[in-house]
């Protein structure tokens, strides 16, 4: 029978040793895997084109994909809605063939990656959606100064005189405004903030424009990931307003949201539509340069809609191989063809407009620059024809591994029974023991290397920020469009860059502590019930079920929180708590959409509660049964026995479960991101939007990679170091806390006995 130790050694061998051996002996990419001397005809190659980025352009790519693949079976296209910031950064990194973006690349991005082409595919627009029950069929009039005042907090209610002045004769409700913005790096944010920069003057100058900006801290704002996230957040929160790409107009209409008529350069209020978008295009298209990097915002003309844009495909001039270059050129050419991807039958479905012929010619000229000349690249057909290098296997003489195990073959296959070379059986090293030792050594080594790389990456930010990193409340990547780099202490950062992590640190601590406050009492109660009152098959079944829940992916909890919990908090629980405990400032409203500190804490509590219960149950079951019997023999009740004898002995295990739960809560990302509202300020109330350190790293990472100075990535690495230090301190403190709890409980029990 194979022992447990042998199984562990086998796993270590598989994880650490076998992959290394396979890497050493594996054939090069594209080589034939047939036996030596045989030749197999290569299969017809399939080219995979990866696209990611703009959630505004995503619906069109989703429509294009099946039709193009059906007509071109040798090409597979994958498409994803990840935000324009991700599209740009992944195109620059060479991770995708097409990075979709609503925004053209900034000067710093062009400097960082001069080989990336900005190719317009279609023309789009942006709408301003709102959720005013009873008024969503009315197209309210809005302009840049009013929108800037809403997003800076100067206007907080819908019946503000400035909004009323734009809408004479319309009875506006006295309802709080909930500004909704993007949480990710976004071309829609670029378009919206560029419109405010061009039209709101000094009121928006300090914010500027870009795919990521430093939003003013309001305490009432909500953030959504992607156009779909913003649209859903507007739907959930009465009084909300936000900017959404026009390709989501059908969904907004389905959800009953209103959309505004915006004031254009000529002072006219116009709605987004084919005629108004086309009028704006005609007014601006003549200015398009050869590189096609141009803003179409706030075009002149009485009928021009003010927020329109080119939808860009970010494409590298050099592709890995000729086959990829040819397939990519063919697809992009088809996308620009009025009988292909630019056909009205496609564009009408997402409310896009065809490119003018002059812009199509410029895009075609850029497409022609793409080639398969990247050094080291080989197409799938070329790699298949590459001759395979034959390597003669060196066969060890004397039986190889078998002879080594038998004493190097010196006894004819029999193990020696004694002599100088004899090693006692209990001292012999097996292959499994060696593998286990190597694996045990590699794990801490890998951890140390990872931590070392993280600290090295964070060092420039540590020098640049000093202690201000943990004391400032503003996080801004700076001006990536037109700004100049600032040098401090020998390191460069974009103009206006500020990296203050205090809101993220506070958000992490508050959500984690809130989760523990909810989960620990319930989890310990469940553990006591299972360990003390359900010891039979029912206890085992319930324990197994709890362990299964503990393994549920976090995104499932996040989705439950977004669909079920957030609306319930926004409509029922939040207002009820505010009514009862509103005399305490922290529990006072407004509740807004339901996204915020409370929702994040509840979701985290739901995630860690099974962990607390499972570990606590095991800790209680490890307490000998005799302890309970002795308590009863002394005349103690079950509760007195549990409180005075069992819990003190199980205390370290219970504390261990709490520490494990806290560790998971501190590092959780997606579930928190889906329900926290992505606030950029220290939460001032239970319902305030917030962001944790882990979520901030995920949200800002793609935008950070577009910073040509690299300081944004260094700042995120410093944020990761702070998160790691907090986790380490929590784990180091756990044993002392457990011992202290047990000691205090024992002292209290002794005091009760003495009394």
Per-residue pLDDT tens over the stretch 273-329: 999 999 999 999 889 999 999 999 999 999 999 999 999 999 999 888 888 999 999
Distance (Å, whole) CA 698 – CA 691 = 11
Distance (Å, whole) CA 75 – CA 94 = 19
Picking from 547, 568, 643, 561, the residue whose alpha carbon sits closest to that of residue 605 is: 561
H-type alpha helices, 561-596: 566-568, 574-581
If you average pLDDT over each of 226-230, 678-682, 703-707, which comes out highest? Answer: 226-230
Q: What is the Cα Rg of the chain in Å?
A: 32
- Beta-bridge partners for 122: 311
Query: Which SS3 state, helix, strand or coil, does residue 751 take?
Result: helix
Distance (Å, whole) CA 583 – CA 573 = 16
8 Å CB contact between 462 and 490: no
Distance (Å, whole) CA 418 – CA 70 = 74
Mean local confidence (pLDDT), 155-170: 94
8 Å CB contact between 64 and 335: yes
Residues 6+ positions from 409 with CB-CB distance below 8 Å? 398, 399, 403
Mean local confidence (pLDDT), 70-75: 91
- Beta-bridge partners for 318: 371
Mean local confidence (pLDDT), 145-172: 94
Residue 754: pLDDT band by 50, 70, 90 thresholds?
Answer: low
- Whether the pLDDT of residue 377 is over 50: the answer is no
Residue 711 CA, chain-centre distance (Å), reads 20
Strands 269-270 and 491-494: unpaired
Picking from 80, 77, 51, 706, the residue whose alpha carbon sits closest to that of residue 314 is: 51
**Structural domains for the chain:** 499-754 (1.10.3720.10)
8 Å CB contact between 711 and 492: yes
Query: Which SS3 state, helix, strand or coil, does residue 35 take?
Result: coil
Mean local confidence (pLDDT), 91-118: 89
- The angle at the Cα of 209, spanning 206 to 213, to the nearest 5 degrees, equals 75
389-432 per-position pLDDT tens digit: 333 444 444 444 344 344 434 444 444 444 444 445 544 556 77
Q: Which tokens hold the place of 54?
A: 């703009």
- Whether the pLDDT of residue 337 is over 70: the answer is yes
Q: Which tokens hold the place of 76?
A: 């597979």
Torsions phi, psi of 238, nearest 5?
Answer: -55, 135
Distance (Å, whole) CA 685 – CA 563 = 22
DSSP 8-class letter at 496? T
**pTM tops 0.85:** no
Which pLDDT value is given to residue 149?
95
Distance (Å, whole) CA 223 – CA 229 = 8
Strands 498-499 and 491-494: unpaired
Picking from 677, 557, 572, 594, the residue whose alpha carbon sits closest to that of residue 230 is: 677
8 Å CB contact between 705 and 93: yes
Q: Which tokens hold the place of 591?
A: 């509740």
Rounded to whole angstroms, what are the CA distances from 43 to 38, 328, 380, 381, 650? Answer: 16, 21, 10, 9, 63
- Whether the pLDDT of residue 378 is over 80: the answer is no
Minimum mean pLDDT among 135-144, 444-453, 568-577: which range? 444-453
Which pLDDT value is given to residue 747?
62
Name which residue leads in pLDDT, 386 or 323.
323
8 Å CB contact between 199 and 145: yes
Distance (Å, whole) CA 353 – CA 124 = 6
- Whether the pLDDT of residue 12 is over 60: the answer is no
Distance (Å, whole) CA 217 – CA 471 = 16
Quote the crossing angle between the two packed helices 711-754 and 647-667, to the nearest 10°.
160
Q: Which tokens hold the place of 84?
A: 């324009």
Name which residue leads in pLDDT, 748 or 59.
59
Picking from 591, 612, 719, 589, the residue whose alpha carbon sits closest to that of residue 664 is: 612
Average pLDDT, the chain: 81
Rounded to whole angstroms, what are the CA distances from 308 to 98, 124, 153? Answer: 21, 6, 26
H-type alpha helices, 34-183: 58-71, 84-93, 107-112, 144-152, 161-166
Minimum mean pLDDT among 48-52, 230-234, 382-386, 667-671: which range? 382-386
CB-facing half-sphere around the CA of 207: CA atoms within 13 A? 26
Residues 6+ positions from 147 with CB-CB distance below 8 Å? 128, 195, 196, 200
Mean local confidence (pLDDT), 536-541: 75
**DSSP for 154-206, written as a single string:** S--BTT-HHHHHHSTT------B-EEEEESS--HHHHHHHHHHHHHSTHHHHT
463-501 per-position pLDDT tens digit: 999 888 999 888 887 777 766 778 888 888 887 788 999
**DSSP for 385-453, written as a single string:** HSPPPP----PPGGGTHHHHHTTTTTTTTSPP-SSTT---GGGPPPHHHHHHHHHHHHHHHHHHHHHHH
Q: Which tokens hold the place of 382?
A: 């070329």
Name which residue leads in pLDDT, 33 or 291.
291
**DSSP for 300-329, written as a single string:** -STT--S-EEEEEEEEESB-SSHHHHHHHH
Q: Which tokens hold the place of 691?
A: 């962001």
Distance (Å, whole) CA 748 – CA 680 = 45
641-661 per-position pLDDT tens digit: 888 888 888 888 888 888 888
Residue 749: pLDDT band by 50, 70, 90 thresholds?
Answer: low
8 Å CB contact between 593 and 676: no
Query: Is the Cα dihedral 90, 94, 95, 101 positive or negative?
Result: positive
For the chain, give the percent of residues with pLDDT over 90: 39
Quote the crossing angle between the two packed helices 502-533 and 537-550, to the nearest 10°.
170
> For 307-322, b where at least 16 C-beta lie within 10 A, e where not — what string?
bbbbbbbbbbeebbbb
Mean local confidence (pLDDT), 451-468: 90
Strands 240-245 and 116-130: antiparallel
- Beta-bridge partners for 493: 486
Distance (Å, whole) CA 101 – CA 105 = 9
Mean local confidence (pLDDT), 201-210: 87
8 Å CB contact between 333 and 364: yes
Task: For the chain, count helices (H), then strands (E).
Answer: 30, 16
- Whether the pLDDT of residue 452 is over 90: the answer is no
Distance (Å, whole) CA 291 – CA 365 = 10
Residue 248 CA, chain-centre distance (Å), reads 22
Which pLDDT value is given to residue 748?
56
- Whether the pLDDT of residue 565 is over 60: the answer is yes
Which pLDDT value is given to residue 410?
43
Which pLDDT value is given to residue 261?
95
Name which residue leads in pLDDT, 143 or 439.
143
If you average pLDDT over each of 223-232, 265-274, 388-397, 573-582, which comes out highest? Answer: 265-274
For the chain, give the percent of residues with pLDDT over 70: 83
Which pLDDT value is given to residue 298?
92
Residue 755: pLDDT band by 50, 70, 90 thresholds?
Answer: low
């Amino acid at each position: 029978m194979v022992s447990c130790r042998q199984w562990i050694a086998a796993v270590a061998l598989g994880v650490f040793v076998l992959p290394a051996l396979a890497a050493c002996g594996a054939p090069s990419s594209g080589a034939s895997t047939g036996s030596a001397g045989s030749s197999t005809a290569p299969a017809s190659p399939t080219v995979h084109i990866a696209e990611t980025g703009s959630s505004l352009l995503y619906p069109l790519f989703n429509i294009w994909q099946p039709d193009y693949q059906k007509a071109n079976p040798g090409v597979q296209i994958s498409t994803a809605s990840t935000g324009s910031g991700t599209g740009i950064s992944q195109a620059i990194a060479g991770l995708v063939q097409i990075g979709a973006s609503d925004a053209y690349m900034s000067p710093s991005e062009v400097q960082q990656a001069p080989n990336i082409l900005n190719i317009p595919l279609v023309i789009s627009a942006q709408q301003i959606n709102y959720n005013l029950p009873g008024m969503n069929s009315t197209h309210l009039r809005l302009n840049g100064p009013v929108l800037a005042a809403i997003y800076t907090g100067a206007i907080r209610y819908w019946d503000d005189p400035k909004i009323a002045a734009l809408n004479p004769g319309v009875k506006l409700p006295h309802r709080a405004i909930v500004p909704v913005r993007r949480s990710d790096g976004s071309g829609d944010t670029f378009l919206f903030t560029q419109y405010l920069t061009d039209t709101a003057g000094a009121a928006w100058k300090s914010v500027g424009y870009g795919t990521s900006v430093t939003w003013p801290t309001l305490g009432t704002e909500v953030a959504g990931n992607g156009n779909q996230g913003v649209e859903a957040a507007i739907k959930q929160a009465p009084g909300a307003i936000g900017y959404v790409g026009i390709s989501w107009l059908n969904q907004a209409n389905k959800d009953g949201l209103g959309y505004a008529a915006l004031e254009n350069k000529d002072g006219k209020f116009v709605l987004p539509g084919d005629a108004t978008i086309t009028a704006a295009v005609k007014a601006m298209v003549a200015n398009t340069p050869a590189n096609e990097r141009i803003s179409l915002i706030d075009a002149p003309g009485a009928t021009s809609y003010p927020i329109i844009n080119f939808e860009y495909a970010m494409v590298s001039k050099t592709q890995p191989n000729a086959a990829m270059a040819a397939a990519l050129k063919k697809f992009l050419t088809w996308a620009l063809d009025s009988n292909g991807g630019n056909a009205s039958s496609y564009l009408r479905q997402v409310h896009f407009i065809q490119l003018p012929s002059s812009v199509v010619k410029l895009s075609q000229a850029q497409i022609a620059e793409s080639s398969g000349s990247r050094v080291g690249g080989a197409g799938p057909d070329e790699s298949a024809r590459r001759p395979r290098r034959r390597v003669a296997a060196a066969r060890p003489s004397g039986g190889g591994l078998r002879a080594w195990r038998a004493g190097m073959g010196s006894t004819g296959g029999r193990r020696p029974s004694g002599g100088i070379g004899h090693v006692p059986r209990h001292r012999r090293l097996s292959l499994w023991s060696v593998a286990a030792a190597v694996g045990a050594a590699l794990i801490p080594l890998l951890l140390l290397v990872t931590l070392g790389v993280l600290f090295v990456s964070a060092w420039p930010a540590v020098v640049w920020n000093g202690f201000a990193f943990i004391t400032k409340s503003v996080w801004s990547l700076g001006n990536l469009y037109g700004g100049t780099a600032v040098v401090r202490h020998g390191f460069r950062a974009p103009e206006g860059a500020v990296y203050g992590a205090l809101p993220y640190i506070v958000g992490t601590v508050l959500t984690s502590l809130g989760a523990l406050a909810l989960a620990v009492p319930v989890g310990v109660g469940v553990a006591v019930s299972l360990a003390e009152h359900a010891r039979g098959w029912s206890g085992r079944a319930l324990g197994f079920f709890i362990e299964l829940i503990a393994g549920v992916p976090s995104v499932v909890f996040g989705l439950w929180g977004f669909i079920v919990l957030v609306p319930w908090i926004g409509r029922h629980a939040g207002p009820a708590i505010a009514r009862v405990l509103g005399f305490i400032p922290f529990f006072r409203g407004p509740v807004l959409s339901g996204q915020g500190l409370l929702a994040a804490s509840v979701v985290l509590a739901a995630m860690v509660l099974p962990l607390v219960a499972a570990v606590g149950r095991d800790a209680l079951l490890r307490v000998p049964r005799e302890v309970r019997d002795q308590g009863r023999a002394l005349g103690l009740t079950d509760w007195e026995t549990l409180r005075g004898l069992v819990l003190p002995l199980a205390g370290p295990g219970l504390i261990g479960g709490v520490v494990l739960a806290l560790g998971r809560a501190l590092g959780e990302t997606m579930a928190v991101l889906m329900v926290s509202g992505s606030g950029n300020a220290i939460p001032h109330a239970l319902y305030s939007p917030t962001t944790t350190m882990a979520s901030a790293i995920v949200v800002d990472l793609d935008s950070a990679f577009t910073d040509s100075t690299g300081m944004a990535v260094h700042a995120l690495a410093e944020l990761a170091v702070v998160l790691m230090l907090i986790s380490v301190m929590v784990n180091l403190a756990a044993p002392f806390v457990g011992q202290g709890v047990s000691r205090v409980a024992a002292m209290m029990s002794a005091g009760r006995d003495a009394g």
